[in-house]
Amino acid sequence: MHSCTHRFLLSALALAATTAVTLVPGTLFSQAPPASAEPPKVNDATMQVTLFAQEPLVQQPIGMTFTKDGKLLVIQSNTHFPPKGFTGPKTDRILWLQDKDGDGKAEKAEVFFQDSVMTMDIATAPDGAIYLATRDEILRLRDDDGDGKPEKVDRKLVFLETTGRYPHNGLSGLAFDEKGGLYFGMGENLGAAYTLIGADGVKHSDQGEGGNVFHITLDGGKLRRVANGFWNPFGMCVDTDGNIFATDNDPDSRPPNRLHHIIEGGDYGYKFRYGRSGLHPFVAWNGELPGTLPMLAGTGEAACDVIYYAPSPAKDFRGLPAQWHGQLLVASWVDHTVEAYTLPDREHAYDGAKKKVLVHGGQDFRPVAFAVAADGSIYLSDWVKRDYELHGYGRVWRISAKEAHELKAPLAAKSGITWKQEQLSKILNKEKVTPLEATDRLNDANPWRFSTAVTRLGRDTDLLWIMKDKRLSYPRQRQGLLLAVQQDAARTNAEPIIPPQKFLEDEDPTVQLLALKWISDVRYAPSRSAVEKFLVNPELTPALFYGGITALSRIDSAEVKEADLVKMLKQRITDPATPARLKRTALEILPDRERQLLAKDLEPLLSEGDTTFQEWVTHVLGALRDNNREPLLRKLAFDEKRSSSVRVAALMYLTLTDADKPALDAIKTDGDKALARAKEVAAPSYLPVAPPATRPPLQDIEAWEKYLAKVPGKPDLANGRTVFLSPRQGGCAMCHRAEGLGNVAGPNLSTIGSAKTSNYILESLLQPNRSVAPQFECYVLATSDGQTRTVFQLAERGNFHTYIGLDGHAFEVQIQDILKRDHFPLSIMPEGLVAKLTDEEVRDLVAYLRERK
């Protein structure tokens, strides 16, 4: 189920607490209120969705599997947040759902097993054994005589020792490989320390690193960590070529949920120790940090199970038609959908997967897990209600062909993922690697090959001793060396071959940032004095400053929470003794500052520092969500003693009415072009001028380059910056950030001039939908107030989603007020953005962005 570990807990099903409870097998609530059993819709005219089972026969269903002899086993959760006064079973049940009369509906539910709690997943091994994952245990059941009762139960194949007790951020996601092994996921465990113990006594301990993927033998031996950096790899599967995939929910304030291709040694970016917001510079969601890996795709909210659909041949085949074979199917609990992901072909092996919706339902459709029958049809468990507490509802749906036919052979062909994995395996498993080969591999810009090269080097201590004295010309190589040395030190539990503080002397800021992260990760006390010295540098970027104070805090404290860092930053901002330069740095790195700060917190800063600082603070003020910002902005805009730049900034964010016209007209510009333009744009009657008809088509980038080159005058970078920041002109800062100003909803453009080609910048402005990363795609949102809007999701906290609409305004919606949320694979940035800008403004905006380096 959905793994966001703090939401929905305030929602209680009051009726459940007062309804009489019976102990009939499969029944918890004797009289559950009726709920709509309208089938969800399948987006394939040859398919249908029918109801196989529902309450009271099955309630709160989670995981599902078919046994070797065709029994459908379903986890019925009796321990996932029982309501107050609940007197039902104290353990979960594994139910065998039976359709005795062959009419396509189950009439009977027998208890197969009922001695586990917080049960999260169930899977059938190649040898027929049934494996269960609970929050803190993996166990094995054997029903060799097929009577529906396990004769043997093997407990604690894996056991989790921890103080963490939240139901679904522990163990889950069972997936078998063809070599006699089992992959499983472990959630972020709310950052609590843990020790994972295999059946042979092998242990793995850690704290705060985020979720992980592990591997064991079928007997629970040879425990090893395969990959890390997840929130919660709740669902996992292995395709017919042995490739591993996982859903990862839930990124809290950094949507979307993620779909991953799992590789050996992969780091997928999230570290719980750096806060739940996902905004710390030590955290990556889509491969932003060297050594971390991008998502395969962004999924719907609350991504649960994932399966690779490649059905076996059958004479009476009732599964999905050929176009769906070889795809990953994902259940989205919040978005009421089953999504299908087409894997990339060989030519685009390192690209992402493409999403389509296979099944969509209404508010009472909460899909969790899949089980594929021998005839290819798909059975789907449905939690029904959005309540986390036990509620008495439950559905099992069957997705099947309307007409049966014969499937003679598997139709799923090798995907580009297989070719990609083969290339990565060659890098990882090469027996002898020369220093020259290692150097070349570490300079690879491809994050997958780079990560694998780092993992290979990190396993070769002898090679690292040679590499440490080599002159590595490229920053990418030095980044890779740092990561490999860090991995070697963790693997050998020895002092690092090169201490992390040595990397702080590197001229590359990314190497420095990775060094600070390493020091912080392991609380490397010998580096403390080096970090203190490093923080004295007045030219530090905000990310390096934040990384440095985080490293010091972790060295000095047993536990450092994001809230502690936020509190420390706010103290620096409001302390009169803090120099303006450091206040600006603290403001730049303060997570979610639009919510954290009030206008009164910034007002004193408007009298500090020079006019450049005051103008910068005015832009921060304008973006706050505090309604009290308007009076202060108005005061700044109409104060003749203020600098022109501050007044221009204040006018950008004011909402003026006709009553303000006299005051606006009274502003004396005295030939100040910027202030005159700010007056014009701020006027209530302002409308953009229609663009010239001579402009080239938006698709012709080369023609646009020539067109802008002919615009009279030289590019005005100050004007380009104004266009970027102004909500009524370019409006770029509503989603993007540059110079520490703007939102972090979209890609940070602070260094776009050095990271991208000049053509890329212009192309993104003219054709924003041409290439949209999954975390920056939109939704069409229908809410209970009757509105349907195209939106971009900014955050999710507790029971609220925060979105920004096409009008540039952010708003919050309670989850229960969301009627429908459809994925819309386009950018929130409108295609016609340049239509409201003059030729000079387009030219100046492009020039401004090209200078961001």
Q: Could you give the dihedral angle defined by the CA atoms of residues 315, 321, 323 and 327, in that order, rounded to the nearest 10 degrees?
A: -80
Mean per-residue pLDDT, 470-486: 97
Angle at 660 between CA 662 and CA 841, to 5 degrees: 95
Residue 793: DSSP 8-state: E
Distance CA 281, CA 353 (A): 27
Q: Cα–Cα distance between 614 and 581 in angstroms, integer?
A: 11
Lowest mean pLDDT among 14-18, 366-370, 757-761: 14-18
Asked whether 329 and 299 are in contact (CB, 8 A), the reply is: no
Q: What mean pLDDT comes out for the span 23-50?
A: 70
Residue among 527, 447, 448 nearest 486 (CA)? 527
Query: In the predicted model, what is the mean pLDDT of residues 77-100?
Result: 93
Residue 828 — very low, low, confident or very high, per pLDDT cuts 50/70/90?
A: low
pLDDT at 251: 67
Q: Helix (H, G, I), strand (E, B), or coil: what is residue 563?
A: helix
Q: Measured between alpha carbons, how far is 267 from 703 in angstroms, rounded to an integer?
A: 42
Residues across the chain: 853
Give the pLDDT confidence of 649-671 residue by residue, as tens digits. 999 999 899 999 999 999 999 99
* Helical segments of 696-778, H only: 701-709, 717-725, 752-755, 758-766
pLDDT of residue 16: 31
* Residue 232 near residue 169 (C-beta atoms within 8 A): yes
For residue 120, which amino acid is it? M
What's the pLDDT at 791? Answer: 86
Domains of the chain in sequence order: 14-49+61-80+89-410 (2.120.10.30), 418-497 (no CATH), 701-768+831-850 (1.10.760.10), 774-827 (2.30.30.100)
Average pLDDT, stretch 536-552? 89
What's the Cα-to-Cα distance from 97 to each of 52, 93, 396, rounded to whole Å? 9, 12, 10
Position 625 scores a pLDDT of 85
Nearest Cα residue to 464 out of 488, 493, 442: 488
Average pLDDT, integer, range 676-696: 90
**What pLDDT does residue 407 have?**
94
Average pLDDT over residues 209-213: 96
**Dist CA 294 CA 296 (whole Å):** 7
Give the pLDDT band (50/70/90) at residue 3.
very low
**222-185-130 Cα angle (round to 5):** 75
The 10s digit of each residue's pLDDT in 589-647 is: 888 888 889 999 999 999 999 999 999 999 999 999 888 999 999 999 999 999 999 99
Contact 465, 438 (CB under 8 A): no
Average per-residue pLDDT for the chain: 89
Alpha-carbon distance of 802 to 813, in angstroms, equals 6
* DSSP tag of 63: E
Q: Label residue 498 by pLDDT band (50, 70, 90).
A: very high
Residue listed under structure tokens 């305004």: 809
pLDDT at 707: 95
pLDDT at residue 168, as a whole number: 87
For 310-364, write each residue's pLDDT tens digit: 999 999 999 999 999 999 999 999 889 999 999 999 999 999 999 999 999 988 8
Of 32-41, 479-488, 692-701, the one with minimum mean pLDDT is 32-41
Closest CA to 212 of 179, 243, 239, 189: 189
Decide: 689 and 720 in contact? Cβ < 8 Å: no
DSSP letters for 373-431: -TTS-EEEEE--SS-SS--S--EEEEEEESS-EEE-S--PPPPHHHHHHHHHHHHHH-S
Cβ-based burial of 363 (10 A; exposed 0-12, middle 13-18, buried ≥19): middle
Count CB neighbours of 147 within 10 A.
8
Q: How far apart are CA 11 and CA 14, in angstroms?
A: 9
Residue with tokens 């030519």: 347
Distance (Å, whole) CA 285 – CA 230:
9
Residue 241: which pLDDT band, with cuts at 50, 70 and 90?
Answer: very high
> How far apart are alpha carbons 543 and 522 in whole angstroms?
19
Check: CB of residue 48 under 8 Å from CB of residue 400: yes
Residue with tokens 């320390």: 193
Angle between the 416-429 and 447-458 helix axes, to the nearest 10 degrees? 30
Q: What is the pLDDT of residues 104-156, one digit of tens each?
A: 999 999 999 999 999 999 999 999 999 999 999 999 999 999 999 999 999 99
820 φ/ψ angles, rounded to the nearest 5 degrees: -155, 140
pLDDT band of residue 829 (cuts 50, 70, 90) is low
- Asked whether residue 298 carries a pLDDT value surpassing 60, the answer given is yes
CA distances to 200, 420, 587, 630, 635 from 617, rounded to whole Å, are: 59, 48, 9, 14, 14
Rounded CA gap, 782 and 788, in Å? 4
Q: Point out which residues pair with 308 in neighbouring strands.
A: 328
The three-class DSSP label of residue 595 is helix
- Percentage of the chain lying above the pLDDT 70 cut: 92
Q: What share of the chain is helix, strand, coil (3-state, %, to 5)?
A: 30, 25, 45
Residues 288 and 550: their CA atoms lie apart, in Å, by 19
* Angstrom distance (rounded) from CA 737 to CA 852: 11
Question: φ, ψ for residue 584 (rounded to 5)?
Answer: -65, -45
From the list 363, 362, 400, the residue with the least C-alpha distance to 380 is 400
CB atoms within 10 A of CB 726: 24
